[in-house]
Amino acid sequence: MIKNAKVFLYFVSGLVLGSLLIMVLASKKNETGATAIEVNKDGRPLYKWYTPVMPDKLDFCGEEMPLNQWDVRERMERELLSNYYLRGSELYILKLAGRYFPIIEERLKANNMPDDLKYICVAESSLQQNVLSPVGAASFWQFMKETGPNFGLEINEEVDQRFNVVKATDAACKYLKQLHDKFGSWTSAAAAYNCGQGSFSNQVEFQQATNYYDLIFPEETNRYVFRIVALKYLLSNAKSLGVILEPSEEYKPLKYRTITVEKTVDNLTEFAKANNTSYKMLKIYNPWLRAHKLTVKPGKKYEIALPL
């Protein structure tokens, strides 16, 4: 009986404290005099949603966005609004960034490319390693099967280096460098990365303009650069915008050892067990292995990562 009385007392106390908390939150005013949370007539909390404040300046790879143009500003506002309240998605990207950004940033630096290009990877895949689009674009940088080999990626039934973050980032650097050299800016290079070099060239020729912000494209490309810049702003300023992720909560880069394989492996499960791991972990550490075996042609070799 005493135990039941204590439980009831704790319940009532919690109910009272919860009610007080709602009342306190509802009574707090922001700078404009509006309340961030109110209680409706049924006693339920009523949250209010606000338009995120547009920064005075935004840029991509050091190229300033012309926010003084009303249409550019409105397009940017759309992407901020579309992404600002996706807090769960943003937190997960920030977690994944702890694992993959150090690798991507190192390869961008090694290729003498702007660091902002990593946000193309975020826009393309949300840093999802195994994502595959309906049209067949794959992994971090969403290379098409036909495009990848042009930039050094091996793609076949057994090996698909689009799923190798190092090799795919190096390939993306080659492609983006080519686009930058052709169109003269990283902004245009990013847009051409999305719609294709030929399509971008056709629009430039027909519309007789070269600046991305002076051109109109089909919807996806029309929004593409703005989405990249919105993601850059939101992820770079996450803490000040109320998205809190402690360093200890980030996913860390996987620690591994590598072995060189110079002969065909007929059974990757047996190979994994012989190297003190499982097929599951072998695929997690090497998502570019796409079959149950690995054919190694004469003179060729592969570096396989294994967990420590």
| Helices 87-110, 165-183: crossing angle, 10 deg rounding | 80
**pLDDT value at 228 more than 60:** yes
User: d(Cα 271, Cα 9) in Å, to the nearest integer?
Assistant: 61
What is the reported pTM?
Answer: 0.84
- As a whole number, mean pLDDT of residues 10-19 equals 50
Whether residue 65 is found in the same domain as residue 156: yes
Question: Residue 257 corresponds to which amino acid?
Answer: R
Which phi and psi (to 5°) does residue 101 adopt? -60, -45
Whether residue 23 is found in the same domain as residue 119: no
Whether residue 107 is found in the same domain as residue 29: no
DSSP string, the chain: -HHHHHHHHHHHHHHHHHHHHHHHHHH-B-TTS-BSEEE-TTS-EEE---PPPPPS--EETTEE--TTSHHHHHHHHHHHHHHHT-HHHHHHHHHHHHHHHHHHHHHHHHTT--GGGHHHHHHHHTT-TT-B-TTS-BTTTTB-TTTGGGGT--BSSSBBGGG-HHHHHHHHHHHHHHHHHHHSSHHHHHHHHHH-HHHHHHHHHHHT---GGG----HHHHHHHHHHHHHHHHHHTTGGGT----GGGSPPPPPEEEEEE-S-BS-HHHHHHHTTS-HHHHHHH-TTB-SS-B---TT--EEEEEE-
Mean of per-residue pLDDT scores for the chain: 90
Whether residue 149 is found in the same domain as residue 92: yes
**What's the pLDDT at 50?**
83
Whether residue 90 is found in the same domain as residue 172: yes
Whether residue 173 is found in the same domain as residue 288: no
- Which of 7-21, 34-48, 145-159, 215-229 has the least mean pLDDT? 7-21
Whether residue 200 is found in the same domain as residue 101: yes
User: d(Cα 102, Cα 169) in Å, to the nearest integer?
Assistant: 12
Whether residue 73 is found in the same domain as residue 165: yes
- pLDDT per position as a tens digit, 91-137: 999 999 999 999 999 999 999 999 999 999 999 999 999 999 999 99
Whether residue 157 is found in the same domain as residue 24: no
Q: How many domains does the chain have?
A: 3
Has residue 269 been placed in a domain?
Answer: yes
**What's the pLDDT at 14?**
53
Has residue 271 been placed in a domain?
Answer: yes
- As a whole number, mean pLDDT of residues 244-262 equals 96
Whether residue 270 is found in the same domain as residue 160: no
Question: Residue 277 corresponds to which amino acid?
Answer: T
Has residue 54 been placed in a domain?
Answer: no
Whether residue 100 is found in the same domain as residue 226: yes
**What's the pLDDT at 234?**
96
**What's the pLDDT at 1?**
45
* 196 compared with 5, residue with greater pLDDT: 196
- pLDDT per position as a tens digit, 150-182: 999 999 999 999 999 999 999 999 999 999 999
**pLDDT value at 189 more than 80:** yes
Question: In terms of residue numbers, what domain contains 133?
Answer: 59-249
Has residue 274 been placed in a domain?
Answer: yes
The distance in angstroms from the start CA to the end CA of the chain is: 55
Whether residue 77 is found in the same domain as residue 226: yes
- pLDDT per position as a tens digit, 19-55: 544 454 444 444 444 456 788 888 888 878 888 889 9
Yes or no: say if 167 and 160 are a contact pair by the CB < 8 Å rule: no
